[in-house]
Amino acid sequence: MKNYFCKENRCVVLFLLVLGYSCQPKEKAIGLLAENAIVVSAHPLASKVGKDIIQEGGNAVDAAIAVQMALAVVYPQAGNIGGGGFMVIRESEGQYHSLDYREKAPLAASRDMYIDENGDALPEKSQNGHLASGVPGSVDGMVKAHEKLGSMEWAKLINPAIRLAEEGFALSENEAAYFTRASENLKKYSSVDPIQFTGKAWKAGDVFKQVQLANTLKLIRDKGRAGFYSGEVADYIIAEMERGGGIISLEDLEKYESTWREPLTGSYKDFNIITMGPPSSGGLIILQMLGIMENDQVSNQGESYAEYLHLKTEMERRIFADRAAFMADSDFYPVPVDELLDDSYLSQRFSNFDPQKATPSDLIMEGKILSMSEETTHFSIVDKEGNAVSCTTTLNGGMGSKVMVDGAGFLLNNEMDDFSIKPGFPNMFGVLGGEANKIEPEKRMLSSMTPTIIEKNNELFMVVGTPGGSTIPTSVFQVVVNVIEFGMGMQEAINEKRFHSQWKPDQISFEKDFERENILESLRNKGHELSERNGIGRVDAILVLEDGIMEGGADPRGMDAASGY
Ligand code: DON
């Protein structure tokens, strides 16, 4: 008799083994665990600078200033002194602050400055070269942060960045490739060849030094605000503008002020959300999304995950339509913050939600307000007293305007593209805008940056944020939901594949290598168009675990790293 049994039995055993293997829970990713303090940023050297500052007795704000400056050296594609950002702070006793050091439109800017004589938009001018830059805010921001909440001597916070610029640092293979690729654009748009970047084809292990930048940082260290907005560095900026046809003037630099704003706050179940209000749209977007979702049960198990992603997409398309119509710099435009977050507004806004079917974006208009009343970088810090800083800072696109200020050795932003350069014309992240976000002198361009701090039962729970243009609020939302609703740890929540949609274009983008094909199929069946893309965002975040230990999650999509003790 043929031994069918044995053969079949072997198959059964093999099948059970395979089943057993695939049913085994994937090993849970765990980030850096630390008892005292954690700094998570886009670069290991910058994270270490921040951790050292705290170990030397500085607080989270001191560390944030040192990290911002260090990133300007080791992560020049986004870390900056020529750009701007937002910082959300929660002191250990529960006081909140938010600092707006977003760039401003120069005094000579005007609504139609990126429209040609035929009425066509000129994105090349709003995205590259001298005309693309807003007046930088980072240095004034760091000075203001230090004046109000810093505890260490200012010079000690700038010295680590000076050292990194002067002594240089060894490039990884990816950094070497990135700088080599970027050099053509830097040559093209800078008025003087920035040879510190373009002088050679970089390879792994090369030591990258920035002598001019070190000198600029020394002036900032010794003179504070005056070391950047007047004197030698200001003169370099103005000379650069004159050579390259830019419009930032000495008066713009002298007048620039960062500003403390009331943080935007809201609640979701047992959690308080402390985030950035206008001129960012990011905080409003996540509070609107959490507000709509508060009464829903969501799950990432089986088919329920497709239901959640459908819900998320339908929220996003309505809210990004609101973003285009109502969100802007509130110093210039009456952003209806309370109305946009009002429960009855949100439920009316979502009343045509169909759990079975995608709503075509063309059918979505902004809501009815009843009474009108990819380069960025994020870092998260908690110090040993429990003070927390969530900070997102940017030049906008990778290497900003690609203009290196000759003599001063730093890159200028291309943030002007975040204005609506022509009504209905998408910015570099494909988001639309209109009248609210039109260009006006000294106005801040609308942002999506979402530095956020979350409390659980009034205690510090999470510090979170990411770069990623218009995907920022939706990435922050997903990571928060992964933790709060799906029970993930910090690293696990960050590693999870992400999805994004934003009203127009009418599609869901999802990260490549997402393995649950049935979920994609369910979304297609509901009428969603899907498009695969590379990494969405780089979330760097910290979670306070039940036992008070913190977990720092650094995004594996970049070379991000946590440092702590
Ligand atoms: O403020 C904003 O929303 C944009 N300038 C952010 C740009 C960004 O995140 C690019 N990074 N990937």
Mean pLDDT of 394-415: 97
Give the integer Cα–Cα distance in Å for 487 and 141: 36
Nearest residue to 390 (alpha-carbon basis) of 12, 57, 97: 97
DSSP string covering 207-261:
EE--HHHHHHHHHHHHHTTHHHHSHHHHHHHHHHHHHHT----HHHHHH---EEE
The ligand 1 atom at the shortest distance from the C-alpha of residue 282 is 3
Asked if 397 and 82 count as a contact pair (C-beta separation under 8 A), the reply is no
- Render pLDDT for 298-356 as a digit per residue (tens, 0 to 9): 999 999 999 999 999 999 999 999 999 999 999 999 999 999 999 999 999 999 999 99
Mean pLDDT of 44-63: 98
Residue 549 has pLDDT above 90, yes or no: yes
Kindly give the distance from the C-alpha atom of residue 122 to the centroid of ligand 1, in angstroms, as a whole number.
Answer: 19
Which residue has 């009331």 as its token pair?
262
The pair of three-digit structure tokens given for residue 364, joined into one six-digit string: 């979505």
The pair of three-digit structure tokens given for residue 403, joined into one six-digit string: 């203009």
Kindly give the distance from the C-alpha atom of residue 395 to the centroid of ligand 1, in angstroms, as a whole number.
Answer: 8
- Render pLDDT for 175-184 as a digit per residue (tens, 0 to 9): 999 999 999 9
Which residue has 């695939």 as its token pair?
22
Handedness of CA 134, 534, 287, 95 (dihedral sign): negative
Residue 18 has pLDDT above 50, yes or no: no
Nearest residue to 189 (alpha-carbon basis) of 382, 6, 524, 414: 414
Percent pLDDT > 90 in the chain is 90
**Largest alpha-carbon pair distance within the chain?**
98
- The pLDDT value given to residue 368: 67
Residue 22 has pLDDT above 80, yes or no: no
DSSP string covering 345-376:
HHHHHTTT--TTSPPPGGG------S-----E
Residues 6+ apart with CB under 8 A from 95: none
Residue 374 has pLDDT above 90, yes or no: no
The pair of three-digit structure tokens given for residue 381, joined into one six-digit string: 């810090």
Burial class (CB in 10 A: 0-12, 13-18, 19+), 300: middle
Q: Is 376 a catalytic residue?
A: yes
Report the pocket of ligand 1 as residue ranges, CB < 6 Å: 374-376, 394, 396, 415, 418, 447-449, 467-469, 472
Catalytic residue among 275, 313, 376, 377: 376
Give the integer Cα–Cα distance in Å for 421 and 72: 28
Mean pLDDT of 84-113: 98
- The pLDDT value given to residue 515: 94
Give the integer Cα–Cα distance in Å for 402 and 129: 6
Asked if 461 and 275 count as a contact pair (C-beta separation under 8 A), the reply is no
Give the integer Cα–Cα distance in Å for 419 and 433: 8
Kindly give the distance from the C-alpha atom of residue 469 to the centroid of ligand 1, in angstroms, as a whole number.
Answer: 4
Which residue has 């983008």 as its token pair?
509
Element (H, E) at 88: strand 84-90
Residue 24 has pLDDT above 80, yes or no: no
The pair of three-digit structure tokens given for residue 251, joined into one six-digit string: 């008066």
- The pLDDT value given to residue 375: 80
For atom 12 of ligand 1, the residue with the nearest CA is 374
Kindly report the pTM of this predicted structure. 0.93
Percent pLDDT > 70 in the chain is 94
Give the integer Cα–Cα distance in Å for 288 and 278: 14
The ligand 1 atom at the shortest distance from the C-alpha of residue 470 is 3
The CATH classification number of 1-38+71-121+259-558 equals 3.60.20.40
Give 2 or 449, the one with higher predicted confidence: 449
Mean pLDDT of 134-151: 98
Which residue has 């005292």 as its token pair?
36
Top mutation candidate among 429, 444, 471 for ligand 1, by most atoms within 8 Å of CB: 429
Q: Determine phi and psi for 278, rounding to 5 degrees.
A: -55, 145
The ligand 1 atom at the shortest distance from the C-alpha of residue 418 is 5
Strand-pairing partners, residue 33, are 551
Give the integer Cα–Cα distance in Å for 127 and 107: 19
The ligand 1 atom at the shortest distance from the C-alpha of residue 472 is 9
Top mutation candidate among 101, 420, 472 for ligand 1, by most atoms within 8 Å of CB: 472
Mean pLDDT of 144-163: 98
Kindly give the distance from the C-alpha atom of residue 376 to the centroid of ligand 1, in angstroms, as a whole number.
Answer: 5
Order of strands across the sheet that contains 561-564: 259-261, 96-100, 84-90, 388-394, 376-382, 38-41, 561-564
For atom 1 of ligand 1, the residue with the nearest CA is 447
